[in-house]
């Protein structure tokens, strides 16, 4: 017994010892192999695990982003006090900094590197407004995936794109960066760009985390003046400005950027209603929000925050998770939490969202970028080919009287004139990533590559883009007189659009209009090519020049893509994603406006119009000509009446009645005739770009889902109201070919 007791005692001791030892070793292996570093664990578990290990300082560190790395940031990275850098480029550079985070910081949390990859990294595609003019989301998605491939090969993990701000004011320079005036079209492109950047698997090292910006109503800047106040009702916010963001969130965008502007009194970067109530509570977005550059600090000049501590508090409580180059979070959050002014849970939530995206992006598994891979990727043949396809699909044939276009390749002589004809830098457009002017194919080169050996190509610059000198006119006139045809390449420089580049006038800058008028007097047939980052008011050109091709800022393959269209190797298929005003006095002008109680009527004075110009735009939304013609017939709407939650199916036959292959953008609009709140006269609800051989006919099908009929009603509910809906199918918002209607009965 005794002996047994003795053994028992030692036996128990041994068991206790073994348990203790194994507990200790478990503890150690947990430290060595924590859950958050284990890729086999679910992301949410990893986030939680990591969060429990972080000090408050380290948590706040994740919420801070700085621009460009300098040695002084090394210490912060070591201390775990930085979550992200922007504008650090090149795998050597990003790897070097990442190594500090991974080898010298306590918890080894990888940094995320962001950059504005807006319409290309090195292979620069047409500006986003031009991409929208392709009405080809698959192509734009492909271009975004190419941009992701190039940018990630240079160490970038995250792009501040797409910009999905609806813009109804072409004075606003940033109209160039978005998809135009229509919520539906912009939503389609928002989702396409997100899919392109993020790919099927965000954890794939060649995908970029997308960032929908600028949340929200930034494009509603009063007077089109950048950063200006936006006065937008809740209903307009929801019906017009929010849908492209929602579409991007539904496509899986990892991040959003809070905007600079205020929204009816509450700055977007301190706006809990938009950032939390709508984005997180309603839409269930679980990624993170980064501020715009210094936009938290700007809560002070907005008059919304008293000082920087107040600004930090407003922003973090509103739902801004990361402070871009503002230094407001790094200098204030710690004290605010210590003083009990911000609960630590608020910080925890913000940090969890940031970590979640870092995990989803696979940064813990592949924090570094392979050196040397980028050389073979940048500007490779396939990328340039896609860029060329995007250029030609983005060009909008605004006028082609007498079929001046396409040109014969064996034309006897051509006078190529204008400040943008032999230009490279401006073709890149605004926010051109790491684009290099020398990569750009100038328009004159594209033309020279295309014409026959016998064609004589003369060139004269004529004038600069934006000064008053007419010294070059004589030379231009000389070559215009001796050539069979003039190609006049005019427009805006790249830096006339984009951030902080709003214009009060929308005319061709400098003396370019005078140059066109001078050339016109020679009587030589003239084609005007317009390069621009925004709609311009070009009434004189429209009235007097026989052929006009809108080329936007087309990027590196500009010259080749434009020449493809000029010489008929590609039949133009671009359509306007935004209305062109006759004059600035008409702004804002957009196709999906309300009817008013006195809709404009010709010859009836007391209706809503101007006494000095027509009320209609110069070129309407959806407009663009082709070298062939299309005929629409057989509009079918099924069912014509529905009382339940059914879809409406619409079909139409479209035939190519011309003599060359062409692509038509078949557009479907609806009009909800009567509602508890007024409805726009027309709303785009579907489009299809189809290719037809001469004589070929295709049936195009659309589905109108209940969601497409719904809107925010008198009580701010998103509903379909019973009643009659007109259906309009056609070639543009003005050129409607066929109409019909259907009825929604009872509750939907
Ligand atoms: C300010 C711009 O508004 C935003 O669009 C951009 O992403 C950031 N700067 C970072 O460059």
Q: What is the mean pLDDT of residues 455-472?
A: 98
> Using CA of residue 535, residue 541, residue 543, residue 549, what is the dihedral sign?
negative
CA proximity to 131, closest of 357, 393, 377, 307: 393
Over the stretch 654-672, which tens digit does the pLDDT of each residue have? 999 999 999 999 999 999 9
Over the stretch 691-705, which tens digit does the pLDDT of each residue have? 999 999 999 999 999
Ligand 1 centre distance from Cα of residue 281 (Å): 26
Q: Are 440 and 425 in contact (CB under 8 A)?
A: yes
Q: DSSP states of 338-390 as a string?
A: HTTSS-HHHHHHHHHHHHHHHHHTTTTT--S--TT-HHHHTT-HHHHHHHHHH
Domain ranges for the chain, please list them. 381-586, 630-744
What pLDDT score was predicted for residue 646?
87
Write the CB contacts of 13 (distance below 8 Å, at least 6 apart in sequence): none
- What is the C-alpha separation between 436 and 307, in angstroms, rounded? 41
- What is the C-alpha separation between 200 and 4, in angstroms, rounded? 66
Whether 82 has a pLDDT exceeding 90, the answer reads yes
What pLDDT score was predicted for residue 746?
83
What pLDDT score was predicted for residue 20?
39
Over the stretch 304-317, which tens digit does the pLDDT of each residue have? 999 999 999 999 99
What pLDDT score was predicted for residue 236?
97
- DSSP character at residue 625: B
Which strands make up the sheet holding 211-215, listed edge to edge?
A: 211-215, 255-258, 288-291
Closest atom of ligand 1 relative to the 160 alpha carbon: 7
- What is the C-alpha separation between 202 and 43, in angstroms, rounded? 13
Q: Helix, strand, or coil here: 117?
A: coil
Q: What is the mean pLDDT of residues 515-544?
A: 98
Over the stretch 214-248, which tens digit does the pLDDT of each residue have? 999 999 999 999 999 999 999 999 999 999 999 99
Q: What DSSP element (H or E) covers 490?
A: strand 485-491
- What is the C-alpha separation between 584 and 617, in angstroms, rounded? 11
Mutate to test the pocket of ligand 1, among 197, 211, 257, 326 (most ligand atoms within 8 A of CB): 257
Q: Helix, strand, or coil here: 401?
A: helix
Over the stretch 707-730, which tens digit does the pLDDT of each residue have? 999 999 999 999 999 999 999 999
In angstroms, the Cα distances linking 448 to 393, 442, 457, 563 are 21, 10, 7, 9
User: Which of the four pLDDT bands, split at 50, 70 and 90, describes residue 747?
Assistant: low
**84-86 vs 64-67, strand pairing mode:** parallel
Q: Are 312 and 279 in contact (CB under 8 A)?
A: no
Catalytic annotation on 292?
yes
Q: Which residue owns the Cα nearest ligand 1 atom 7?
A: 160
Over the stretch 353-372, which tens digit does the pLDDT of each residue have? 999 999 999 999 999 999 98
Closest atom of ligand 1 relative to the 259 alpha carbon: 3
For 462, other C-beta atoms within 10 Å of its C-beta total: 30
Mean pLDDT, rounded, of the chain: 95
Over the stretch 335-356, which tens digit does the pLDDT of each residue have? 999 999 999 999 999 999 999 9
Over the stretch 256-281, which tens digit does the pLDDT of each residue have? 999 999 999 999 999 999 999 999 99
The residue ranges of DSSP E strands in 677-717, in sequence order, are 683-692, 697-704, 711-712
> Which entry of 116, 157, 169, 292 is annotated as an active-site residue?
292
CA proximity to 63, closest of 270, 291, 280: 291
Q: Helix, strand, or coil here: 258?
A: strand
User: Which of the four pLDDT bands, split at 50, 70 and 90, describes residue 144?
Assistant: very high
In angstroms, the Cα distances linking 31 to 106, 250, 312, 528 are 12, 37, 34, 69
Quick check: do 381-586 and 630-744 share a fold? no
Q: Are 378 and 153 in contact (CB under 8 A)?
A: yes
What pLDDT score was predicted for residue 161?
98
- What is the C-alpha separation between 308 and 285, in angstroms, rounded? 28
CATH number of 381-586: 3.40.50.1700
Ligand 1 centre distance from Cα of residue 516 (Å): 36
Q: Which residue owns the Cα nearest ligand 1 atom 11?
A: 116
Ligand 1 centre distance from Cα of residue 292 (Å): 6
What pLDDT score was predicted for residue 21?
38
Q: Which residue owns the Cα nearest ligand 1 atom 1?
A: 293
Ligand 1 centre distance from Cα of residue 65 (Å): 13
Over the stretch 618-649, which tens digit does the pLDDT of each residue have? 999 999 999 999 999 999 999 999 987 789 99
CATH number of 630-744: 2.60.40.10
Over the stretch 92-134, which tens digit does the pLDDT of each residue have? 999 999 999 999 999 999 999 999 999 999 999 999 999 999 9
Write the CB contacts of 319 (distance below 8 Å, at least 6 apart in sequence): 272, 275, 276, 279, 280, 289, 350
What are the pocket residues of ligand 1 if the criterion is a CB atom closer than 6 Å to any ligand atom?
86, 116, 160, 213, 292-293, 499
What pLDDT score was predicted for residue 644?
77
What pLDDT score was predicted for residue 11?
44
Would the pTM of this model clear 0.85, i.e. be above it? yes
Over the stretch 150-166, which tens digit does the pLDDT of each residue have? 999 999 999 999 999 99
- DSSP character at residue 127: P
């Amino acid at each position: 017994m005794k002996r047994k007791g003795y053994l028992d005692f030692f036996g128990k001791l041994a068991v206790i010892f073994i348990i203790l030892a194994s507990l200790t070793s478990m503890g150690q292996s947990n430290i060595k192999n924590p859950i958050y570093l284990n890729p086999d664990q679910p992301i949410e578990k990893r986030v939680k695990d990591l969060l429990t290990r972080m000090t408050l300082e380290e948590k706040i560190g994740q919420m801070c982003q700085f621009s460009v790395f300098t040695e002084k940031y090394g210490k912060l990275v070591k201390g775990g006090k930085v979550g992200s850098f922007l504008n650090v480029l090149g795998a050597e550079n990003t790897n070097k900094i990442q190594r500090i985070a991974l080898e010298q910081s306590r918890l080894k949390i990888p940094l995320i590197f962001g950059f504005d990859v807006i319409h290309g990294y090195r292979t620069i595609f047409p500006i986003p407004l031009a991409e929208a003019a392709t009405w080809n989301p698959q192509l734009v998605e492909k271009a975004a995936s190419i941009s992701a491939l190039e940018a990630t090969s240079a160490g970038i993990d995250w792009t501040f794109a797409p910009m999905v701000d609806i813009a109804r004011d072409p004075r606003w320079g940033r109209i160039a960066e978005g998809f135009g005036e229509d919520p539906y079209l912009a939503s389609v492109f928002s989702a396409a760009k997100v899919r392109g950047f993020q790919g099927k698997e965000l954890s794939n090292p060649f995908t970029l985390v997308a960032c929908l910006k600028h949340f929200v109503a930034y494009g509603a800047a009063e007077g089109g003046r950048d950063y200006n106040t936006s006065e937008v009702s809740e209903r307009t916010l929801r019906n017009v400005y929010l849908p492209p963001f929602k579409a991007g969130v539904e496509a899986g965008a990892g991040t959003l950027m809070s905007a600079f502007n205020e929204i009816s009194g509450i700055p977007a970067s301190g706006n809990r209603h938009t950032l939390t109530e709508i984005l997180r509570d309603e839409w269930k977005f679980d990624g993170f929000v980064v501020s715009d550059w210094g936009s938290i600090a700007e809560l002070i000049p907005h008059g919304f925050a008293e000082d920087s501590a107040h600004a930090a508090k407003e922003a973090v409580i509103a739902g801004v998770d990361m402070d871009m180059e503002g230094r407001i979070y790094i200098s204030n959050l710690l004290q605010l939490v210590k003083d009990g002014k911000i609960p630590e849970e608020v910080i925890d939530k913000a940090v969890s969202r940031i970590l979640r995206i870092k995990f989803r992006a696979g940064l813990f598994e592949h924090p570094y970028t392979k050196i040397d891979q980028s050389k073979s990727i940048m500007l490779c043949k396939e990328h340039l080919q896609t860029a060329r396809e995007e250029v030609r699909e983005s060009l909008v044939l605004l006028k082609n009287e007498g079929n001046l276009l396409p040109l014969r390749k064996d034309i006897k002589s051509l006078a190529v004139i204008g400040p943008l004809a032999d230009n490279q830098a401006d073709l890149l457009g605004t926010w051109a990533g790491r684009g290099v002017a020398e990569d750009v194919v100038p328009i004159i080169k594209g033309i020279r590559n295309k014409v026959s050996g016998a064609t004589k190509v003369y060139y004269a610059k004529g004038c600069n883009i934006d000064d008053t000198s007419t010294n070059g006119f004589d030379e231009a006139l000389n070559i215009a007189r001796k050539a069979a045809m003039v190609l006049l390449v005019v427009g805006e420089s790249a830096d006339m659009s984009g951030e902080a580049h709003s214009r009060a006038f929308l005319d061709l800058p400098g003396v370019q209009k005078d140059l066109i008028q001078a050339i016109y007097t020679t009587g030589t047939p003239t084609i005007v090519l317009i390069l621009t980052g925004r709609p311009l008011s070009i009434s004189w050109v429209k009235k007097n020049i026989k052929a006009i091709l809108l080329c936007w800022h087309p990027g590196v393959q500009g010259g080749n893509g434009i020449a493809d269209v000029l010489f008929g190797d590609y039949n133009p298929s671009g359509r306007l994603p935004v209305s062109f005003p006759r004059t600035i006095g008409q702004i804002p002008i957009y196709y999906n406006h309300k009817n008013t109680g006195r809709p404009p009527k010709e010859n009836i004075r007391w209706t809503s119009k101007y006494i000095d110009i027509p009320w209609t735009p110069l070129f309407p939304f959806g407009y663009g000509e082709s070298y062939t013609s299309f005929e629409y017939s057989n509009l079918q709407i099924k069912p014509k009446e529905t009382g339940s939650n059914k879809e409406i199916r619409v079909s139409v036959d479209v035939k190519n009645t011309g003599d060359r292959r062409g692509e038509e953008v078949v557009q479907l609009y609806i009009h909800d005739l009567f509602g508890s709140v007024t409805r726009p006269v027309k709303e785009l609800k579907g489009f299809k770009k189809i290719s037809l051989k001469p004589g070929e006919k295709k049936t195009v099908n659309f589905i109108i889902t209940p969601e497409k009929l719904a809107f925010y009603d008198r009580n701010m509910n998103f509903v379909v109201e019973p009643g009659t809906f007109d259906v309009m199918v056609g070639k543009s918002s003005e050129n409607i070919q066929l109409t019909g209607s259907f009825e929604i009965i009872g509750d939907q």
